[in-house]
Every structure is written in structure tokens, then in C-alpha cells.
Amino acid sequence: MKNKTIVFATSNYNKVKEVREMLIPLGFEVLSLSDLNLCVTHPEDALTFAGNAKIKAEEIAEKCSYPVLADDSGLMIDALEGFPGVHSARFMEGYPYEVKNKAILEMMEGKENRRAFFRTAMVYIDKEKGIEKTFEGVTEGVITTKLDPKPLHGFGYDPIFFSLDLNKTFGQATNEEKDSCSHRARALMKFVEFLKGRED
């Protein structure tokens, strides 16, 4: 695969790091919005992850000359009817995730069904080639009964998400372990396979 520059439409350091860890070894240069001094100004008010990812991808594709990859992702909890879902980032906006995680655990008190999953939708737009594609990834787990007191890695809701693939919370998983089964990793794998297929 030839070297290729892609803009990942986020300024979230943790997301950029996760995507770079997966794509740079495959010959990609991954630029963030911060690298280009760009930002998303349109409200992410779609009802689906794919819809929000498309809002971001389309706006940034109009502002730069590179192909753009944008994602939207979130935690969905069965017992809370899919909450926080597309509102994962905006739930208790302005509060640190330790506070958000504690709030989720309080909402889950007394719930027997603790099944949950992370879902990611990624939208890729290459204006030059007229390409727009969506890739989705899901990883399953359960919500823990208490906050991981010393998460070693991860971010966001990782300390309360016990991965069924890894048999540990994402907060305790190494970057390599998380990259092997995370929702974002699975969507990225589909994206990479798509690009490989176009070059074969």
C-alpha cells in the first residue's frame, strides 16, 4: 500500500493516538484537526453514529484537500435502553469522565442485566476520487459494579467497561490489547481492507 495522508477529523488526543497506532505501521500519515488548525463547527445532531460521523467528514472535506476519515462512537447499555448512545460525549458535558462514570454506575444500581457495547461508525470521504463509505465496529462487554480505582490505560468510559474479548476492563487493557478488539479498531480494519481492495 502506498504512503497516504489522511485527515482524522478530531482533535481528541486519545482518539488520534489510537488511530495512528493502527494506521501508521500500514504506511499512512494521519493528520488531526489540530495539525491543520481546523475545527468542526456544525452541530452533531444526527440520531445515529453514522449520521454524526458524516456531518464531521463532509465539513472537513470541504475545508481541506486530503481524504477525510471521521468517526462517532459511544457506549450503549441495554438496561438503560441504549443510553448514553449518541449522547456519550455530551452526557454531563463539562464534567470529567470519572464523574460521568460514577453517574452511570449509579444509574445501573440494582440492574441485573449489565450488558453493554461500544459502537463506532466511521465515514471516509475522498472528494478527488468521489468516494464516500461508512464502516462500523462493535465490541461487547458488561458494565462493572464499581469504578476501576487504578485504570492503567484507556480513556472515557473504559474504566467501567468490562470487555468480553479481553476478560478485563478496557481501563486495564494495554493499547495493543484494546487495538485487537475495540469498536474503533474493528471499524478501522474494515476501512483498511477497503483501501487494500481498491489497490489490488
Known catalytic residues are: 72
Cell of 114: 449489565
> What is the spatial distance between Cα 171 and Cα 149, in angstroms, rounded to a whole number?
10
> What is the spatial distance between Cα 177 and Cα 194, in angstroms, rounded to a whole number?
23
Strand 131-143: give its sheet, edge to edge.
Answer: 28-32, 4-8, 68-77, 115-126, 131-143, 161-163, 168-169
Bridge partners of residue 5, in order along the sequence: 29
> What is the spatial distance between Cα 137 and Cα 116, in angstroms, rounded to a whole number?
14
For the chain, what percentages of helix, strand and coil (3-state, to nearest 5) are there?
40, 25, 35
> What is the spatial distance between Cα 8 and Cα 132, in angstroms, rounded to a whole number?
15
